[in-house]
Amino acid sequence: GNSVTQMEGPVTLSEEAFLTINCTYTATGYPSLFWYVQYPGEGLQLLLKATKADDKGSNKGFEATYRKETTSFHLEKGSVQVSDSAVYFCALTTNSGNTPLVFGKGTRLSVIA
């Protein structure tokens, strides 16, 4: 089946630090990969996505590259801000039939000034 494993949190960083949140996956079929972000008190919203191997998704200074050889989709940002404090979810789906979106357990990021 399909599954996503992401690093446990919480992660606490100082402002302007470099961020990496690891995400690896297993999938039957060819997956599309996503990062969603949940700000405090809100629903999830799409941060970025990649639909084929070696694609790089990017948004708001965040990047993630779809690595088929390592089955990974790690999220990175070069310089985090306090406003980036949120919970980040890695997710995947595959193009085989009624395949729902499968989420990782989420990683809570706290950025301190």
Partner 1 sequence: NAGVTQTPKFQVLKTGQSMTLQCAQDMNHEYMSWYRQDPGMGLRLIHYSVGAGITDQGEVPNGYNVSRSTTEDFPLRLLSAAPSQTSVYFCASSPGQPNSGANVLTFGAGSRLTVL
The residues binding partner 1 (CB under 8 A) are: 32, 34, 41-46, 49-51, 89, 93-101, 103-106
Residue closer to partner 1 (CB basis): 18 or 39: 39
First to last CA, the chain: 41
- Least distance from C-beta 70 to partner 1, angstroms? 20
Alpha helices in the chain (DSSP H): none
Shortest distance, position 63 Cβ to partner 1, whole Å: 16
- Closest to partner 1 by CB, 32 vs 80, is 32
Ramachandran region, residue 97 (left: φ > 0; alpha: ψ -120 to 50; beta: rest)? left
